[in-house]
Amino acid sequence: MIGPDVPLDAKDADVRRCVTPADLSNMPKSSQGRSPQDWPSAILHYIEQHQDRPLKARTLARELELAGTDYADFRALVRDMLEDGRLLLGPGRSLALPQAAGRLTGVFRATRHGYGFVEIADREDLYVRRGDTGGALEGDTVQVRLVRGRDGRPPTAEVIKIVERAPLTWVGVLERRGRAWVVQPQGRAALPMVQIDDPTAKSAKPGDMVVVEPLEHTLDSAVVRGVIVERLGDPTQTQTKILSVIRRAGIRDVFPAEVRRAAHEALQRFDPEDVAGRTDLRELLTITIDPADARDFDDAISLSHLPGGNVELGVHIADVAFFVTPGEALDAEARERGNSVYFPGYVVPMLPEVLSNGVCSLQPDQARLARSAFITYDRQAKVIATRFAGSVIRSKRRFTYDEVTEVLEGRNGGLDPALLKLLKDAESLAKRIRTRRLAEGMLVLNLPELEIKLDAGGRPISSGAADTAFSHTLIEMFMVEANEAVSRFLREHGVNHLRRVHPPPPDEAQKALVQIEPLVGRQLPRVLDRATIRELLDAVRGKPEEPAVHFVLLRSMAQAVYRPTDEGHFALASEDYAHFTSPIRRYADLTVHRLLDQVLRGSSEAARARHRRRDQEEEDLESIGRHISATERRAQQAERELKSLLVLELMKSRVGEEFDGLITGVTSFGAFVQLRPSLAEGLIRIGDFGRESWEFDDQRMVIRSRQSRRIVCLGQAVRVLVAAVDDVRGEIALIPARGRMLGMVSELREGKQRGRGDAPRGKRAAGHRGRR
C-alpha cells in the first residue's frame, strides 16, 4: 500500500530546496545545539537515506537524538510537513517522501522464464516483466517502482534498487560431465550450472544432493565456479528433499547450544504440583483434538452447562510464556524463527522439542500450565460473557480428527459417556457458532488442500485433498472465538497488541473475475465487498463453475499479516482478531499471551510503564509483525515446495497416464493444470495445445485460437496426459489427452476488456486452523 495519490515526481523541488549541503554539515550528533529550524532538513535527509525502513515520528525523533522535552514541538512540525505535502503517510502511518510514495520494498522471486514477482506484505504479489528485473536474483530484497498498467490492468513493478542480496545457497545433484564436476541447481528460478573444483569436499559422492555456494554473484554466465558446503545425501529420500527445501529457504533447523541449555533450565522451573496463583482445573473434563501425527498440543477444550440454557466454552492454551522469558536466548531464537514449519512427516519447531513436544504440550493425563479463555453463549451462540485465567489443566484424552469424525457419525466404539456427551455438545455449539458467524458475514471458500501420505519409511505413497470433516470445523470455530475474545479484551483494556489483519481485496484484484467470465458466460461484478462475494458464492453453488469461482476469489484475497493496527479481519468479518491459540508454534501468539498476563496480573507499575513506552512498543510490535509475517510466508512457500517435490516423485510412475484436471493459471507460454484427484500441478505449453495456432490475449487473460472461436481460460475442466516429469525444473509436462480438443467456444462478445489482478496464493480465507 502507498500513501495519498500523488504523482511520483511531485514536490521534488521542495525536497531539493530543503536538503542542502549546508544543512547536512550543520547536523550535530546529539540534540545539543540543534535548533528547530534544522529539523525539517534533518527529517527529510534521514528518511531519504532509510527508505527501506518504516519510520514513525517517535522513532525518527529518537534516531535524530532529540531531547524528550522537544518531542511535542517535533511532532507538531511533522504534522505541518504532512499538511503542506513535504511528507506523506505510508503503511502503518509511517513517514515517506513524496517522490518515494510509489516505491515499495519486497522480496524478489525469480522464474525460469525471465520474469518474476515481488512479494510485499499487505498486498498482492507484483509482476515484474522480463526486462525490468534490474539484475535481481531469487530472494533478493529489492525496491521497485510501480508502472501503471494499460487498459485498466493492474500495475507492474520495475526493480530500481537491490536493497540486500540474498545469500547464494543453491541445492542440486553432484554429477560428472566429461572431465568436469558440476551441480545444476534445482528449483523454478533459472540459475547457472555450478562447476565444482573439489568434488570430494564434505565427503560428497556422485549422485548426492549437495548444497553449493557460487563464487560469483551473477546470472550472466551459463557456468560459474562454486564450492560444496554441505552433503545432504540420496536425492530420492524424503528426508533429503526436506533438507534441500530447508536449505534453499534459509530456515533455521538447528538450535544453538545456549538455546538448548535455556530450554532445559526453563524445564527445571516447572513444578506440576505448584498451582499457586492459578485456577486449578485438573478435575475439569478437557480434551485435545489434533492431527494423528501431531506432537505439539497447543489447545484443549471443555464445555460446561449453565442455568437458562447457556453454555460456557473453555479454550485452554499452553502457557508457553511461563517458560520463555522476553529478551533471553530462548525468546530471541523463537522470535527469529517466527513459527514452526510443518512438512509431511517432519517439523522444524519454533521451540526446542523438550518444550514444544514435552512440558508445554497439553498431553493427556499430565498436569500442564495453561491460559484459559471462558466464553459464555446463549442458545443462539451469541457471546454474553468472557473471562480469562491462568490455570493448571489435565487433559482427559487426546483425540485425533478421524476419531472425532467417527464419534460424530455415530461410531462410538464404547466411548466413555462423559466424553461422548462432550463431543456431541461441542458439535452442536460449533454448528451454532458457524451459523452465527456466517450471518455476520464470514466467508468460506471451499478449495481442496494438498495432503501427502507417507509410508513407514517416509516415502510418498499418495497425494490428494485433505480431510474437511466437521471435526476440523469444530476446532476452527472454537479457536476463532477464543482469538477474537482475547483481542477484544485487550482492546477494551487499552492494550495495543499484534493483530491478525486481513485487509479487503485490493482495488486491482477486484478485476480478477474477468478471467472466468468466458467460463460462466456472463459479466461478473467488479466490486468485491463481502456482500457481493457472498452473493456470487450462492449463485454458483453446485454448478460446474463453482470451483473456478472459489479459486479466483481466493487469489483475489489479500494476504493476512500481523500488525498492531485495528484494521479487522475481512474474511472472518471480525473487528477484533489476534492469534492466541498456538503459542508453541507461533511467536505472534506468545506476544499476545504476555500482554494478557500483564492485564490479568493488574500491575499498576506495568500499566504506567506501558503508557510511557506506548509509542516505542507500537514500533516494536510493527517490527515483530513484519518479521513474523515474512517467516510465515517463507514457511508456507517451503511447505508448498516440498509437497511439489513429493508429488513429482509420485508422478514419475504415472507418465503416459491420463487425468482430469482444472486450469488454474493462463500465461503467455501455456496453461497450468491441477490434476484430480492427486492435486499435482503441471504445465501444458502453448506449442502443445493442438493443430490450431494459439495466441495469448492479455486483455481477457485467455489463450485464443486464431482459426476458431475456441479459448483456453481459467477454471476450465480438461483431460490431459502426463508427458514427462522434470526433477531439475520441478515441472510436470502435460499435453491434451488423446482425441481431446483443448479449449471451449467463447460466447462472450468482443470489446474493450478489463484487466486482471494476480493475487498471491493462500489458504482458505476463513479455513485452515493454522493460518487464520
| pLDDT tens-place string over residues 91-117 | 667 787 765 556 788 888 887 677 888
Q: Where does 103-164 sit in CATH, by number?
A: 2.40.50.140
Class of domain 170-249: mainly beta
Residue with the bigger pLDDT between 52 and 612: it is 52
Nearest in space to 668 (alpha carbons), one of 649, 693, 686: 686
For residue 664, the one-letter residue type is T
DSSP state of 570: T
Cα torsion angle, 414, 419, 423, 425, sign: positive
Give the pLDDT score at 750: 47
Q: What is the pLDDT of residues 18-68, one digit of tens each?
A: 333 333 333 333 334 457 777 888 888 788 767 656 678 888 888 888 877
pLDDT of amino acid 509: 64
pLDDT in tens, 291-320: 999 989 999 999 999 999 999 999 999 999
Cell 480465507 -> residue: 765
The residue ranking higher by pLDDT, 571 or 506, is 571
Q: pLDDT averaged over the chain? A: 84
DSSP state of 113: T
| 226 within 8 A of 183, measured Cβ to Cβ | yes
CA distance 696 to 705: 9
Q: Where are the alpha helices (DSSP H) in 3-69?
A: 12-18, 21-25, 39-49, 57-63
Q: Which residues contact 326 (CB under 8 A, 6 or more apart)?
A: 594
Task: Supply the pLDDT for residue 254.
Answer: 96
pLDDT tens sequence across 226-263: 999 999 999 999 999 999 999 999 999 999 999 999 99
Read off the pLDDT of each residue in 352-372 and give the average, rounded to a whole number: 97
Please give the Cα distance from 747 to 736 (Å, whole number). Answer: 22
CB 661 within 8 A of CB 674: yes
| Per-residue pLDDT tens digits for 737-756 | 987 888 777 655 444 333 32
Contacts of 611 (CB under 8 A, 6+ apart): none
Reported as a single tens digit per residue, the pLDDT across 175-227 is: 999 889 999 998 777 788 999 999 888 999 999 999 999 887 666 678 899 99
Of the pLDDT bands very low, low, confident and very high (cuts 50, 70, 90), residue 729 is confident
| DSSP helix/strand/coil, 104 | strand
Give the CATH fold of the 12-100 domain: Arc Repressor Mutant, subunit A (1.10.10)
Are both 103-164 and 170-249 of the same fold? yes
The sign of the torsion formed by the CA atoms of 312, 313, 318, 320 equals: negative
Nearest in space to 512 (alpha carbons), one of 482, 570, 556 = 556
Amino acid (1-letter code) at residue 758: D
What is the per-residue pLDDT for 98? 67
Cα–Cα distances in angstroms (integers) from residue 580 to residues 1, 197, 457, in the given order? 27, 51, 35
pLDDT tens digits, 395-437: 999 999 999 999 999 987 789 999 999 999 999 999 999 999 9
Contacts of 90 (CB under 8 A, 6+ apart): 1, 2, 3, 54, 96, 101
- Checking if the pLDDT of 713 tops 70, the result is yes
DSSP for 664-710 reads EEEETTEEEEEEETT--EEEEEGGGS-SS-EEEETTTTEEEESSSSE
> 512-542 in b/e burial notation, b at 16+ Cβ within 10 A?
bbbbbbbbbeeebeeebebeebeebbeebee
Q: What is the third-level CATH fold of 647-745?
A: OB fold (Dihydrolipoamide Acetyltransferase, E2P) (2.40.50)
Q: How far apart are CA 299 and CA 301, in angstroms?
A: 7
Record the cell numbers describing residue 244, joined without a space. 534441500
State whether the Cα torsion 129-134-136-141 is positive or negative. Answer: negative
Percent of the chain exceeding pLDDT 90 equals: 51
| Alpha carbon separation from 14 to 9, 18, 48, 644 (Å, rounded) | 11, 6, 13, 52
Report residue 557's pLDDT band, with 50, 70 and 90 as the boundaries.
confident
pLDDT tens for 439-473 read: 999 999 888 899 999 999 899 999 999 999 999 99
User: Is the pLDDT assigned to residue 148 strictly greater than 90?
Assistant: no
Helix or strand (DSSP H, E) at 606: helix 604-612
Query: How confident is the model at residue 611, as a pLDDT?
Result: 45
Say if strands 460-465 and 450-454 run parallel, antiparallel, or are unpaired. Answer: antiparallel
pTM: 0.80
What string of DSSP letters covers 298-367?
A: -EEEEEEE-GGG-EEEEEEEE-GGGT--TTSHHHHHHHHH-B-EEETTEEE-SS-HIIIIIITS--BTSE
How do residues 81-93 score in pLDDT, each as one tens digit?
A: 887 767 877 766 7
Nearest to 397 by CA among 286, 318, 482: 286
Q: Do residues 515 and 552 make contact, with C-beta atoms less than 8 angstroms apart?
A: yes
pLDDT digits (tens, 9 = 90+) for 523-552: 777 777 888 888 888 888 888 888 888 888
**Cell reading at 733:** 509436462
Residue 3 has pLDDT above 60, yes or no: no
So where are the chain's domains?
12-100, 103-164, 170-249, 257-501+563-635, 647-745
What pLDDT is attached to residue 512? 67
What is the torsion angle, in degrees rounded to the nearest 10, for the CA atoms of residue 631, residue 633, residue 639 and residue 644? -140
Which grid cell is 551? 479459486
